[in-house]
Amino acid sequence: MADKRTPITPTLGDRDVQLTEVLSQQQDQYEDCMPCRLMGSAAFTGLGFYTYYSGRKQLLKRKHEIMRSGSRFGIAARKAGLVGMSTVLVGVGAWRLVN
């Protein structure tokens, strides 16, 4: 059984390979094109805005039903979840554009 504190050095054929070396080689080979970044960013950002818009619409439509249900997750908690999810999706879209 391997000691958890000792790093494992993978081998490639006859030579030992450091993980940082493999990752740097892969990073040099992989380059994402700008149209792919734009499409991915637009998809996530659009999904974030759509999530907010449609979720807000559904909350307003079912507000009285939710309040009568007696659930411990009321309107405020659902709004916070909706805003949080939308913000994360828009953030992922921005991250996708930059990285």
The closest of 9, 27, 25, 8 to 17, measured between CA atoms, is 9
The closest of 91, 96, 88 to 34, measured between CA atoms, is 96
| In-domain check, residue 10 | no
| In-domain check, residue 52 | yes
Task: List pLDDT tens digits, range 21-63.
Answer: 777 777 666 677 889 899 999 999 999 999 999 999 999 999 8
Of the pLDDT bands very low, low, confident and very high (cuts 50, 70, 90), residue 9 is low
- Tally the domains of the chain: 1
Containing structural domain, residue 72: 31-98
Rounded distance between C-alpha atoms, residue 89 and residue 95, angstroms = 10
Report the percent of the chain where pLDDT is more than 90. Answer: 46
pTM above 0.85, yes or no: no
Mean pLDDT across the stretch 76-88? 95
37, 44 contact by CB (below 8 A):
no
| In-domain check, residue 44 | yes
- Phi, psi angle pair for 4, to nearest 5°: -70, -20
The closest of 85, 59, 83 to 67, measured between CA atoms, is 59
